[in-house]
Chains A and B, each alone.
Chain A
Amino acid sequence: MNSLEELNAIRDKKKDELSQRKDSQNLRIVVGMASCGIAAGAKPVMDAIIEELNTRGINDIKVSMTGCMGICRLEPIVEVIYPDETRVTYANIDAEKAKRIVAENIVNGQVCTDLTIEAVQNDDGGK
C-alpha cells in the first residue's frame, strides 16, 4: 500500500460491489458463522443455500459469511441483503428453512415472514 488513494480506490470499488446500483437485481445472502453460529449449525445452512441456488441455476447471488451479530440464542442467522442495503434477517434457520428462503425470498421475492428474527424471537425453541 503506497498511498491513501490506493486504499480509497479499493474502498470505492468494493462499496460499489457491495451496494450495487439500484437497477441491479442482485441480492446478497450472509450467514452468521462465528463460533456461536457454527455450533448452532450454520455450516449445513450455508451448504443448503449454495446447493439450492445451484439446483435452481442461480449464479448471480453472492453468499458469504459474517461474524457474530450478538444474538447467539437465535443462531443460525441468515440475512438477505438487497441492493439498497435493506435487510431481511432470519433466525433459528436450519437446512430446510434455508431452502425455503431461497425458494420464497430469493426466487419469488417474498419474505418468509414466519422465519424473520422478529417472528421467532419469542420462540424459545426448546432452549
Chain B
Amino acid sequence: MQLFRSHILVCGGSSCTASKSEQIIKEFDSHLKANGLENEVQVVKTGCFGLCAQGPNIVIYPEGANYFRVKVEDVKEIVEEHLVKGKIVKRLLATGDKNENTNEDYSANSIEFFARQMRIALRNCGVINPEDIEEYIAYDGYQALGKVLTTMTPAEVIELVKKSGLRGRGGGGFPTGLKWSFAAGNEAPKKYVLCNADEGDPGAFMDRSILEGDPHSIIEAMAIAAYAIGSDEGAVYVRAEYPIAVKRLQIAIDQAKKLGLIGKDIFGTGFNFDLSIRLGAGAFVCGEETALMTSIEGHRGEPRPRPPFPAAKGLWQSPTVLNNVETYANVPQIILNGAEWFSNIGTERSKGTKVFAISGKIKNTGLLEVPMGTTLREVIFDIAGGIPNGKAFKAAQTGGPSGGCIPASLIDTPIDYDSLVALGSIMGSGGLIVMDEDNCMVDIAKFFLEFTVEESCGKCPPCRIGTKRMLEILEKITSGKGEEGDIEKLEILANSIRMSSLCGLGQTAPNPVLSTLKYFRDEYEEHVFEKKCRAKVCKEMLKYIVIDDKCKFCGICAKNCPTNAISGEPKVPYLIDQDKCIKCGLCETKCPFDAIERK
C-alpha cells in the first residue's frame, strides 16, 4: 500500500459539486503533478461535510486544516503554500485566522467558574509572568506606589485605606486603615512593615498562589504601607514549605531592587524601603502575629500576651504593621481606583472581595474570588460546580481549624465577616472545605482537633492540655466507647479553652467541635448512645457484611482478606467473621458484584 504524507479531502456532495468541486479536484491533480507531489499527496473525494453554505469544503490532513469556499483559482496557492512550504493559507481557513466567523469564546471566561468571579486580589494570577517585573508594570504595576509617593501624604494614604473599608483578610477582619493609623501615630526611630504569608490551615492555599502568581503586588503594597506609617524596612514571613513562592518572591524582590522600585530614594522622592524574606519552619502558631514576630527575632515561635499590640511594640520592640498576603494584594487596586470603588463592592460592613481556596467534596477544587456577601450556595454550586458523584451537600467548613461548619440548611447565608461569626464560624483566611453525606461530622471535628493539638505551641495550659483532653473524648466517641456526659464534658472544656487561652490558636481551637455540636448534635448522640456512625466513617462502629443475594461465591473477598476473616464454599454465600475482621475495607473494594456492605 502506498503511503501519502498528506491527504486532501474535497467534498463531493451535490452542493459542493454545484460549486465546482469536480474542477477543483482536477486542478489539484494537475498542480500536484507540476510540483512533483503526486506520489506524496492523495486527493480524496468525500461525502458531504454538512457545511454546504460554506462550500466547496476542503480538509487537508494531517493538519486537519479546513478550507472553506475554495475557488478553482485558489488551488495553486494551496498546493504551493500549504503542501510545498507547509504554510497554512490562513485567508481560506474555516475559522479565519481566529474564530471571527463563529463568535465562539474559547477562553477561560467561557466557563461559569470564571464568568461569575470578581478578581481584585487575584487579578494578575494566571495572567502575567510572575518572574518578569515588566509584565507586572505593563498591567499598571507600581503605578499605585508612584501615585502615593508623588501625590499623596502618608495621612492621605491611611485615610484612603480607612475609607475603602478594607479589613484584614487573614482571619480576624481588623480594619486595615485603622491598624496603619495606630502604627503611624506611634513615634519611633524605627518602624517595620511585615507580611504574614505563614498560611498553615489545612485546605488553604490562596496566599501561596498570590505569591507564586503575582509577587510584585505584595512588594508594592508593602512599600505603600511603609510610606503610610513612616517605615523604611519590611519583611515577608513565609513558610519554607512553599519553595516556589519563596523563589518567585525572591526573584521579584531582586528585580524590584534592580529597577529601584525598592531601595533608596524611590521615584526621586527621598523615600527608602528595603524588603527581605524571613523563612518560617511551618508552625501553625507562627501565623499568630506575636508568635510570628518572636520567630523573626530568632526565638521559638510562641505568642505573647497583648497589649502591647504590634502597632505599639512589635518587631524588635518597634511599632509594626502586619498584614496578610491577600490584604496587601488589594491595596494597589484601592489606591488606583479609589476608596469609593472598593467600598461599593461587598456588604455594609465587609467591603471588597474574598478569595477562597475551595476543596473537599467539590467539583472545581481551586481558588476563586467573589464579592463579599455572595452566598455559600452561589460559591459551591454555581461557581465551584457542586458536589461530585451526585452526593448531597452536608456542610462547609470555613476558617479551617479555627473556624466552624455551616450546615446545608444555612447555605443561603451571605459570606461576610459578621454573618460567619454569627453562625459560630469565622471567615478565616479563606479555606473552604466542602463535605457531603459521606463525611462524619464527629470525625471532621476530630480531624481539626488533631491538627490543633499537634500545632499547639505548648506555652499556655488551656491550649496545651485542654485540646488534648478534648481530642481524647472525641477519640472515645468515634471508637464507639462514648458514654453519657461526654458531650457535656466537651462543651465545658471547649468553653474554658476558648476563654482562657493565650492566643488565637487556642481561643479558636474548640470552634470545629462547638459548631458541629451546634448543628449536628444528633450525630454525636448517635455515636454515643446508639454506637452508630451514619456516614459509615468511624471504623469501630462499622460492620462489613456479605449481602447473600448478591454474592456469587467467587471467593475473591476471602482471597484478599489480610486476616482470613472471610470463609465460604461453592453455592453458599460467604461469611465475614466479625471477631477477626479489622475493617480494612479491602473486601468491599475487591468484590466485583458490590456484594459487601458497610453497616
Contact = CB atoms under 8 A, between A and B. Distances in A.
B214 A67 contact: yes
B65 to A, nearest CB: 5
Nearest to B260: A1
B64 to A, nearest CB: 6
Contact of A72 (B63, B108, B124, B367): B367
A14 B138 contact: yes
B171 interface: no
B410 interface: no
B65 A67 contact: no
A65 B131 contact: yes
Contact of B125 (A1, A69, A108, A113): A69
Interface residues of A, number: 50
B364 A118 contact: no
B90 A109 contact: yes
B120 to A, nearest CB: 13
Nearest to A80: B106
Contacts of A95: none
Given A1-B260, A4-B150, A34-B212, A67 B125 contact: yes
Contacts of A68: 125-126, 209, 212-213, 366-367
Given A11-B141, A77-B108, 7 more contacts: A1-B259, A1-B261, A2-B260, A35-B209, A66-B126, A67-B212, A117-B111
A117 B110 CA distance: 8
A117 B108 contact: yes
A15 B388 CA distance: 41
Interface in A11-65: 11, 13-15, 17-18, 25, 30, 32, 34-36, 38, 64-65
Nearest to B245: A35
Interface string B24-55: 00000000000000000000000000000000
Contacts, number: 177
Contacts of B94: 110
A69 B108 contact: yes
Contact of A4 (B93, B140, B213, B267): B267
B267 A108 contact: no
Q: How large is the interface on B (under 10, 10 to 19, 20 to 34, 35 or more residues)?
A: 35 or more
A35 B207 CA distance: 12
Contacts of A87: 106-108
A41 B368 CA distance: 22
Interface of A: 1-4, 7, 10-11, 13-15, 17-18, 25, 30, 32, 34-36, 38, 64-74, 77, 79, 82, 86-89, 103-104, 107-111, 113, 116-118, 121, 124
A77 B125 CA distance: 13
B186 to A, nearest CB: 29
27 contacts: A2-B265, A4-B146, A7-B137, A7-B261, A10-B134, A14-B138, A35-B208, A35-B245, A65-B130, A66-B129, A66-B213, A67-B126, A67-B214, A68-B209, A68-B213, A68-B366, A69-B114, A71-B113, A74-B366, A82-B98, A89-B108, A104-B64, A108-B88, A108-B93, A109-B96, A110-B66, A121-B113
Contacts of A36: 205, 209, 366
Given A67-B213, A73-B363, A108 B126 contact: no
A118 B134 contact: no
A102 to B, nearest CB: 11
Contacts of B128: 66-67
B267 A103 contact: no
Interface string B131-148: 110110110111100100
Given A89-B107, A110-B94, A71 B138 contact: no
Interface in B166-212: 205, 208-210, 212
A88 B107 contact: yes
Most buried by B among A34, A86, A124: A34
Contacts of B113: 70-71, 121
A121 to B, nearest CB: 5
A123 to B, nearest CB: 11
Contacts of B244: 34-35, 38
B337 interface: no
Nearest to A2: B268
Most buried by B among A4, A36, A121: A4
Given A66-B213, A70-B122, A18 B266 contact: no
B97 interface: yes
Contacts of B95: 109-111
Contact of A15 (B138, B143, B150): B138
B127 interface: yes
Nearest to B389: A124
